[in-house]
Structures are given as structure tokens and as C-alpha cells.
Structure 1
Amino acid sequence: MSKAIIKSATGIRTILIVILLLKLSITSFAQQAISDVGNFYPVLDTYAAKDNSSLSYLAKDRKKTEKWRRKAKAKLHELLAFDPEPAPLDPQILETTKRDGYTQYLVKYNLNALQQTEAYLLIPDNLTKPAPAVIALHDHGGFYFYGKEKHTLTDDQPVILKEYIDNLYEGRTYADELAKRGFIVLSPDAVYFGSQKLDPAQTSPNNAKAYYSNVTANESENIRAFNKFASAQEIPMNKTILTAGTTWLGMIAQGDKVAIDYLLTRPEVDPEKIGCIGLSLGGLRSTYLFGLDSRIKTGVVAAFSTTYQHMLKEHARHTWMMYVPRQYEFLDLPDVASLNAPRPLMVMNCKQDKLFSMEGMQAAESKLKAIYTKMIAPDKFACNYYDVPHSMTIRMQEDAFAWLEKWLKQDKE
């Protein structure tokens, strides 16, 4: 055999060995890289596992359910850390639009002494007595320019909004569908969205420049530029919120509770039949509103269900709005929803959801199912899975409507 052939064979063997070593290295890396925080995961996971969820209903034998509920709600309220100076609602009707089967009101009211919000109020036609009401809580989706408009019908929708509704809701504004079915619906803007969105003109010149330099004559492009600007500002926003001694979710939850206060000023509303529903961030908002406020009689959470244990491994895609320092020490995410148990709760999960793992969704389901079973009310908890990406499809909406009709339109809770 010539030296050239031997040299060539040796070179091929070397390349094959290198390829094999690379494959082994990649496999080993994949096995170790189980978290967004890599080698920091073991210490954080170990720390988080120490006496976590101490106020969960499952943490011990809770012989006095109401005493547990009061203690857990008080601790969560403390952790959310937002107690602004109150103010009268001072509600105003800004616009009135007659639609098919209901009337849409654009309303405005005070959240506290320093903040206001706008909301759409939908009142069905021909009500003869106080009717059940649903608070429809909008999503995040990286779409800050609008809030309530993402699931409530508006005229002259820009292309970017229409495409968004097509993508997440299969083209249907579910708040209006609820109104057509006899529910009074309130869709309020959350902090940082819609009527409460960030004003670029009041941010620092360097930050504002990033937005204004992209403003054009195209409405959808301007909205896209604003959404990009607002997304980048989430980090300084949350840093400032934490420095101020409060939490972003605390601010959102306080506003959502005031939505109930507003509904109760309306004579059309049956105060004993109020529910809440939301997708994504709206699902998180629904979780906290349902858990914190006993005036909510039933809840629907869409595409926002997991446990913190599973979020420790991967949550890079989530908004800064959801984090509450030290909450895991006392209450896991499904524990929050359980604070209103055994009131009826439906959770809807998307099998193709890239924001949550199937293991996390199933773990949350198991925890809530165990709590409702322990409270001898397994029929008041439902958890459905849909083979779709992160969304609230028409089929999901129909299941949610059936749930709300079952628990809000019957005579007894």
C-alpha cells in the first residue's frame, strides 16, 4: 500500500473520530443544558425546593379551610405589594355604539388616586332582570398598542390588529360573542396596554428616539414600531417597579379587582354571577383575579398553566409582568387559582404551546385536581387539552362559553 493511500486513510479515520467526539460532546451538552440558566440551575432548583408552597392547600391537612384561605390570600396580597391610595371610581361613558344584539360602551374609571383605565362594556339587548357578567381579560402577545381591542369588536381595525385576532382567536372577538349569548361583558385595559400604554414622549430622549425614528405614514407599521419599543422598555419598567417596592403583577391585579367594583355599579349586573376569562397574560390575570377575589364565582384560564418547578427550567419567553418575588416560597401558580376553590374553574391548555411544557401543564392540572378532590368538588374543576399552538380557538371559546353558562346561568352556585 502506498504512503499516500495510508496517509489518506489515516486522515479519514481522524475526521471520523473528530465527528464522533463532536456528537458525543453535543449529546453530553444537551443532557446538561436543561435550563435557561445552565450551570446555575442546580443551585437555584435546590434553593427553590426548600420548603416551597408552604401555604398550598395540599401542604398539610387543612381542617379549617376558611382560615387557610384568609391566611393565604393575605400573604399573596402582601407579596403583590401594591396598595395605592384609593379614589372614587368616577365612571364616565366616552362612546356608545349599537351593535347586533347588544350595545357597546367605551367607559373610563379610576383605578386609584393616580391611575385611570378605559374598558369596553357590552350590555345585551332586552334584559328584563340583572344578568350574569364576565370580565374578559386581554392577552399580552407583544402587542402593547391595544389591550381590550384584541378580543372586542372595534370599527376600522388596522391590518395588524385584524391579523392578530385571526392568529390568536381564529378571527372572532370572543367578548362580543359572550354578549350575544346574554352575558354582560367588561373588557378593561391592563397597565402598559391600550389606554394605559407607555407614552414615548415621556421617556428619556434616547429611548424615545428608537420609536420616533421608525414612525411612518403606515398605521400598521407605526403600531409594530410601538410594540417593539414597548417590548424593549419592559426591562427598565420592571426594574423601576421593583425599586419602587411593588410588583407589576400587583399593579395589574389591583386594576382587575377594580373592574369588579365598576361592574357592581351597574344595575344590569347580577352581583352573585360574575366570572372571568382570559388567554395567555389574560389567563394569568384570570388566575389571580379568580384566586384573590371571592366576588368572582367562576373562572376560565386559557394557555397559562404550569408550575414554578417547570418554569425554573425554561421561561425565557415570558413577560416580566408575571414574576412575584418570594411567591413560590408560599404558593405555586396553581395554588393561586385554588384560593377560590371549590368555586368552578376551567383550565384550557394548548398541546403545541411553546411557552409551557406539557409536563408543567400536567403538573398544574394534577395539583388543582387533587385540591378540588380533597374539597369534595371534583366536578367543579375541568382541564382540557387542545392540539393547537398558543391561542384560544373557536372550539376553545365554545367550551369556555358552555362552562360559563353552566355555572353563571343556573340558579345555584
Structure 2
Amino acid sequence: MLRKYDRYARQDAFRGSTPEEFRQWREDTRSLLHSLLGTCKMERGIQDARRMETVFTEEGIRREHWRIQVEPEVWMTLFLLAPAGAGKDTPVILCPPGHNGAGKYSVAGVRDYPPITEKIDHYHYDYGLQLAKQGCVTVCPDCRGFGERREDPEDARRLPEGLKGDCYRLAHMGEPLGIPVLGMLTWDLARLIDWLEEDRRFNTDRLGAVGFSGGGMQTLWLAALDDRVKFAAISGYMYGYRDALLTLNNNCSCNYVPHLWEHLDMGDIASLIAPRPLWVQSCREDRLNGPRGVVNAQEQVAIAAEAYRLLGAPENLRHQICPGTHQWHEEDLAEYLTFLLEHSINSKE
């Protein structure tokens, strides 16, 4: 399979040399990716929204518990975190979750259950809460198969499964219909943006996305395909497919999109975000980098960097390499958040 990868992979990478050629490639590539994701098979309906609870955290942050409709028979549950004084000028950041943290609960920093608290401490998982403390409104959703959106509530009685997700169930149902899990997740996040735009309480003109691990995966794809995302931060998920998803072939089903590797690598997808501000965070000892280590991530960032250079915005891409294993690092969060917000104002083509 590795030999086949080397023979057939990345046939549609950008090979032009001008900004005009890149823009045409971006348009064509987005169309290709929507086809691979099966988003044309997703269904729009009346977008209902219901607030179920509002509480205030010890930090004075208002935490709203919502469920919003993303397809006629499908609902997304989420926490919206609003710091004191948040209003129409406050930026909004989507914070999709990764695995092993029970969905939105760890990202929003809900420490009511010891196993979730353990995951928050291990991965520094509460980046939604951290960003709210920095003054942003953050939206921490359950993606399909996680948290309140599990496909089989019974298997959540077993702790390891309850903290993870039902991606394999979703993949077995969706892929034969041409809808991989990533198509479902990307669709839902786009509908979440629709709801925030209709809600009009906060500044969606400065909307961004930040995610760690599987949340970084969702951030990558959403930002690549939706220009309403004005800035993005991807932590623990920017590496070449050959090393990280083929050589390490026991990763979660949500990572795999049929036929994707024939066309593009991860850096090519990240190129679609240019010239909007992008902060990539990698850890040197992250096993998901694959057998060659962090160089696998550096190679993919370099692919995206070429797009930023071509579009005249090399300063809008930053790659932070941190010590340690697979985890989010918040030590320089204020600095990087300032970078993302300030550069998003001037990143229009």
C-alpha cells in the first residue's frame, strides 16, 4: 500500500506559478473536496435552535447550553461561552473537539466528572474556556458521535467509549452513500456559522476556528472550504498522510475520505486557507507525527507556506513547535490570538 501511495498520491497538487493560477486551482479544488465529502447529499431544513440552560462559571463566564438543527432530523448540541461584557463587537471562535474528551465538555472546561477533568489536565483540553478568558466568545460543539450526539447511548456506559466517539458507526453508515464522517462534520460546522450569523449577538465578521487533534482536523477542513472563517489555529493535526494515516493505519475512521490521497496531501488542503491568518502548533514527541517525527508536520506547513508566499502574505502563517507529546499548548495563547485577530483584518485578497 505504501508503494501504491507513492505511485498514485497527490495528483492534483498546485503546480502553477501565479496568484491567478492559484485562485483558479483553489476554486477547482474546493469543488473537488465538496464532491469527495458528499456535501451535495446533505439536507438543508428549517434551522431551529433551543437554549436549554444558562449557568455562570466561577470565572464569571456565561455558559449557554444549546441544541441547533443542522439537518431536518439532526441536531447539534453545544456550549456557548461568553465573557462578561461580550456584545456585537466581540469576536467569535468555533472550538470543535477532538477525541477522548467527551466532546464539548472538555473543550468548554466542564470539570463536573473526574474522568473528563483528567483528560482536560492531560491534553490541556479546555481551549474553549481559555479563549473565553481572553475575551472572545467561544462555541464548543458536540460533533456527530460525541458527547450528547452519540449513536449508541448504551456503549457510553463504558468509560473509554464514552470519552471517545462513534466515528466508526458513522463511517459504516455514511461512506457507502458517499458521505464520509468528515463531510458530516464540515457540514455541521458550516450550519453552526449560519446560526451564529442569524443570532447576531456577536461579531461574525471576525469569526475564527481553533481546534486540537480531531478538532484541528475539523478546523482545517472548515477553514479550507469556508471563507467565513477569517482565521484558524490547528494544533496536533498537520502532518503528511503517508506517515501519519497510512503507516500509522489504526487511526480513527473520521480521518479517512475515500479517494482523497489520490488528489491531495494535508498541506495542499491547508493552502486553501491562504492568505487568512493560520497558526499551526506541533509537538516534537507527538506520536501522530509518524515515524519521522515533527519533520512530517514541517513538510506540510511548507506546502501551505508556498501559497501564502505566492499571495503576498507569508507573515500570515506561523508554525509553533512545542516540546512534549500530543497536547494543546496555551503558554503563548495571548500572543498568537493577537496575531490571528490583527492579521485577519488585513487578510482579504
TM-score by length of 2: 0.90
Give the alignment partner of residue 282 of structure 1, picking from 215, 228, 247.
Answer: 215
Q: What RMSD over aligned residues (CA atoms) do the two structures have, in Å?
A: 2.3
**Alignment-derived partner of residue 276 in structure 2:** 343
Bigger mean CA deviation after superposition, 113-122 or 394-403:
394-403
Question: Counterpart in 1 of 2:322?
Answer: 386
User: Which whole-Å deviations, capped at 9, do the CAs of 1:307-338 have from their partners, x for residues lacking one?
Assistant: 22334652224211011111223322121121
Structure 2 residue 110 is the aligned partner of structure 1 residue 110 = no
Structure (1 or 2) with the larger CA radius of gyration: 1
Q: Which amino acid aligns with 2:113?
A: P
Distance 1:122 1:227 in 2: 21
What does residue 150 of structure 1 align with? 106
1:236 Cα deviation after fit: 5.0
Q: Letter of the aligned partner of 1:45 in structure 2?
A: Y
Task: Tell me which amino acid in the other structure corresponds to 1:240.
Answer: M
| Aligned: 1:66 with 2:23 | yes
Partner SS for 1:190? coil
Q: Deviations over 1:208-249 (max 9, x none)?
A: xxx59xx5xxxxxx4336458x5xx65454233212321111
Deviates more, 1:315-324 or 1:63-72: 63-72
How far is 1:177 from its partner? 2.4
Among 318, 339, 342, the residue aligned to 1:403: 339
Task: Describe the SS at the equivalent of 1:265.
Answer: helix
* Aligned counterparts of 2:347 and 2:308: Cα–Cα separation in 1: 19
Counterpart CA distance in 1 for 2:168 and 2:85 is 47
Which residue of 1 is the match for residue 265 of structure 2? 332
Unaligned 5+ segments in structure 1 are 1-39, 202-210, 216-221
Deviations 1:168-190 (A, max 9, x none): 00xx7221222222211111110
Aligned residues: 342
Give the structure 1 partner of residue 138 of structure 2. 185
Alignment check: 8 A CA contact 2:86 2:137 kept: no
Q: CA deviation at 1:107?
A: 0.8
The alpha-carbon distance between structure 1 residues 411 and 248, as it changes in their structure 2 partners (threshold 3 A), is closer
Contact 1:132 1:273 in 2 (8 A): yes
Residue deviations 1:85-141 (CA, integer Å, cap 9, x gap): 211221111001123343110011001112101111122222464321100111113
Q: Secondary structure at the match of 1:309?
A: helix
Question: Which residue does 1:36 correspond to in 2?
Answer: none
> Given the alignment of the two structures, is residue 45 of structure 1 paired with residue 25 of structure 2, yes or no?
no
Name the SS of the counterpart of 1:87 in structure 2. Answer: coil
Does residue 259 of structure 1 match 2:192?
yes
* C-alpha separation in 1, matches of 2:256 and 2:88: 41
- Residues 383 and 268 of structure 1: CA distance in aligned 2, closer, same or farther (over 3 Å): same
Does the Cα contact within 8 Å between 2:277 and 2:343 map onto a contact in 1? yes
- Identify the match of residue 352 of structure 1 among 279, 282, 285: 285
1 CA distance for matches of 2:284 and 2:335?
Answer: 16
- 1:219 maps to none
Question: Which of 85, 94, 105 pairs up with 2:43?
Answer: 85
What's the CA shift for 1:193? 0.3
What is the Cα deviation at residue 376 of structure 1? 1.5
Q: How far apart, in 2, do the equivalents of 1:101 and 1:399 lie?
A: 23
Which 10-residue stretch deviates more, 129-138 or 188-197?
129-138
Contact 1:130 1:267 in 2 (8 A): no
CA contact (8 A) 1:101 1:180 kept: no
- Which of 251, 256, 279 aligns to 1:318? It is 251
Q: What residue is the counterpart of 2:152 in the other structure?
A: 199
What SS is found at the alignment partner of 1:271?
A: strand
| Corresponding residue number in structure 2 for 1:369 | 305
Matched residue of 2:287: which SS?
coil
> Counterparts of 2:283 and 2:322 in 1: how far apart (Å)?
5
**Residues 256, 53 of structure 1: CA spacing in aligned structure 2 closer, same or farther, 3 A cutoff?**
farther
Q: SS at the partner of 1:299?
A: strand
After superposition, what is the alpha-carbon deviation per residue over 1:246-301, rounded to whole angstroms, capped at 9, x for unaligned? 11110111111111112112222222100000000011111001101000000000
Task: State the distance in 1 between where 2:205 and 2:252 align.
Answer: 33
- List, as ranges, runs of 4+ consecutive aligned residues in structure 1 with deviation greater than 6 Å: none
Using the alignment, how far apart are the partners of 2:95 and 2:337 within structure 1? Answer: 12
Shift in CA distance, 289/241, structure 1 to aligned 2, threshold 3 Å: same
Output the CA distance in 2 between the equivalents of 1:234 and 1:298.
27
Distance 1:236 1:271, change over 3 A: closer
Of 94, 98, 114 in structure 2, the residue corresponding to residue 159 of structure 1 is 114
Distance change (3 Å), C-alpha of 1:48 and 1:398? farther
Q: Indicate the residue corresponding to 2:241 in structure 1.
A: 308
The DSSP-based 3-state class of the residue aligned with 1:120 is strand
Asked if 1:121 corresponds to 2:80, the answer is: yes
Contact 1:168–1:390 under 8 Å retained in 2: yes
TM-score (structure 1 length as normaliser) = 0.77
Distance 1:377 1:407 in 2: 10
2:109–2:120 CA contact under 8 A, matched in 1? no
Shift of 1:412: 7.5
Q: What is the aligned-residue identity percentage?
A: 23
Tell me the secondary structure at the aligned position of residue 232 of structure 2. Answer: strand
Residue ranges of structure 2 left out of the alignment (5+ in a row) = none
